[in-house]
Structure 1
Amino acid sequence: MPKKNQFAIIGLGRFGGSVCKELIKLGHEVLVMDNREHKVNEYANIATHSVVADSTDEKTLKSLGIRNFDYVIVSIGDDIQASILTTLVLKELEISQVWVKAKNDYHHKVLAKIGADMIVHPEKDMGRRIAQQLSDEKVIDYIELSDRYSIVELIATTKLRGKTLIDLDIRAKFGVTILAVKKGEEMDISPMPDTKIDEGDLLIVIGENKDIKRFEDQAM
């Protein structure tokens, strides 16, 4: 069975709440924290533990056993100062994985300087994903890993029908890797070279953006 991690989510806006619900659905333990009582009450019956607290107070975080959590997600909305102070305290407490929602580029730069392990821009990331899907009918989903690398879900066209991965020789020709092939509800992770592609299959591809584009233009 996959390991069940312990997560703490600080800030219960739309993003934090959404992350909480999904993690609980996946079977993880989740502590939620917010300084607004009505927000904590909203998630009291969803999260494993819920608490009304000031996340910038080091003593409070210690008393909650924050060091025992595998990941702490800071999703404080408009209060950039509280977000930065909370992140700083968490890193001083030597939390190994602190993921923080950034409101803007300035916020991102400060978070990076104080040691945030992952910085996310939910609105910007979602905007890019939607733009990718709107601009290309073959793209089902798109996750940007960095400025150069992405994971893209592509739908197989007639051009690929009946071909195996070894026939396509995608890695050698285009420098991208097919992580999985989804046929209907069946997902084949790390598919074998003799895996046959059918029209309509979902190909989950990772690589440099320019190589993924080249693969899509030339092979599909």
Structure 2
Amino acid sequence: MAQFAVFGLGRFGAAASIELMRLGHQVIGVDNNTKFINRLADQLSHAVIADVTDEQALQELDIQRCDAVLVAIGEDLEASILCVLHLKNMGIEQIWVKATSKAHHMILSRLGVSRIIHPEEEMGVKVAQALNYPMVNQYLALGNNQYLVEIDITQRLQGITVAALLADANAFVKAVLVKRRDKLFSPLASDFVLEHQDRLVLAGSLDILKSLAPKLTA
């Protein structure tokens, strides 16, 4: 169990906080809006009213004990940047920050935060990918144009082997595992037979994975 602090409990910060709690972690939620604090007080480990632009206020929260801090402040660019500067001065190493503009992103990059998040853009990309490739449930970018994707096996593909499915790209795509109801199958032999409603996880370059799309949807 880890401990996290989330600064800014609007829609994005609240969702992240609640999910971290669901995953079994401790969460300190911080906001200067009493309404947000009262809404989440019973759902978080601690919910605190504080001005995150005040370094002394942050010192009193004992944030140094947290494994990471998420700065989820919305449109107040100045507050976000001041908060990050204070966290840096306090020696906090793992700082994740929600960015709201290119200028915000550029400043955060110069400050050397651990990760910059663009929630709307990232969700937009995921929605576009889902619309373009409806057979893909989940995907994960691994860097260098390499991805993991989770594919639904349709009724049409019932009984096909892994080798047959990947016949045109077998040298470039790796079948990682199959989820079949409550069971996982891995590693996968080339003659493993797929069933309707299996979920197949593949790894490979985006271009090659895209080339498989017609075969998976035809």
Whether the TM-score (by the shorter chain) exceeds 0.5 is yes
C-alpha deviation, 1:139, in angstroms = 1.9
Change (3 A) 1:182 1:77: same
What is the aligned partner in structure 2 of residue 92 from structure 1? 89
What is the aligned partner in structure 2 of residue 192 from structure 1? 187
TM-score by length of 1: 0.84
2-structure distance, mates of 1:193, 1:160: 17
Change (3 A) 1:102 1:149: farther
Which SS does the other structure have where 2:171 is aligned? helix
Change (3 A) 1:146 1:20: same
Query: Are positions 1:214 and 2:193 aligned together?
Result: no
AA matched with 1:203: L
2-structure distance, mates of 1:38, 1:196: 54
Equivalences for 1:32-47 in 2 at 5 Å? 32-47=29-44
C-alpha deviation, 1:105, in angstroms = 1.9
My pick for the range that moved more, 155-164 or 82-91, is: 155-164
What is the aligned partner in structure 2 of residue 173 from structure 1? 171
What is the aligned partner in structure 2 of residue 55 from structure 1? 52
Of 128, 131, 140, 2:128 maps to 131
After superposition, the C-alpha distances for 1:69-109 in whole angstroms (9 at most, x for unaligned) are 11111100110111112122222322221111111222112
8 Å Cα contact 1:100/1:119 also seen in 2:
yes
1-structure distance, mates of 2:54, 2:166: 56
1-structure distance, mates of 2:174, 2:114: 26
Of 1, 12, 15, 1:15 maps to 12
C-alpha deviation, 1:144, in angstroms = 4.6
What is the aligned partner in structure 1 of residue 103 from structure 2? 106
Change (3 A) 1:161 1:150: same
AA matched with 1:120: I
Structure number, greater radius of gyration: 2
Query: Are positions 1:78 and 2:75 aligned together?
Result: yes
- Aligned-pair identity (%): 36
Of 162, 169, 179, 1:182 maps to 179
Equivalences for 1:134-145 in 2 at 5 Å? 134-144=131-141
8 Å Cα contact 1:12/1:33 also seen in 2:
yes
After superposition, the C-alpha distances for 1:8-63 in whole angstroms (9 at most, x for unaligned) are 10000100000111111111100000011111111110000111111122222222
Change (3 A) 1:162 1:126: same
What is the aligned partner in structure 2 of residue 25 from structure 1? 22
8 Å Cα contact 1:160/1:198 also seen in 2:
yes
Change (3 A) 1:125 1:65: same
Q: Any unmatched runs of 5+ in structure 1?
A: none
C-alpha deviation, 1:156, in angstroms = 2.3
C-alpha deviation, 1:143, in angstroms = 4.3
Question: C-alpha root-mean-square deviation of aligned residues, in Å?
Answer: 2.7
TM-score by length of 2: 0.84
C-alpha deviation, 1:149, in angstroms = 4.0
Which SS does the other structure have where 1:73 is aligned? strand
AA matched with 1:205: L
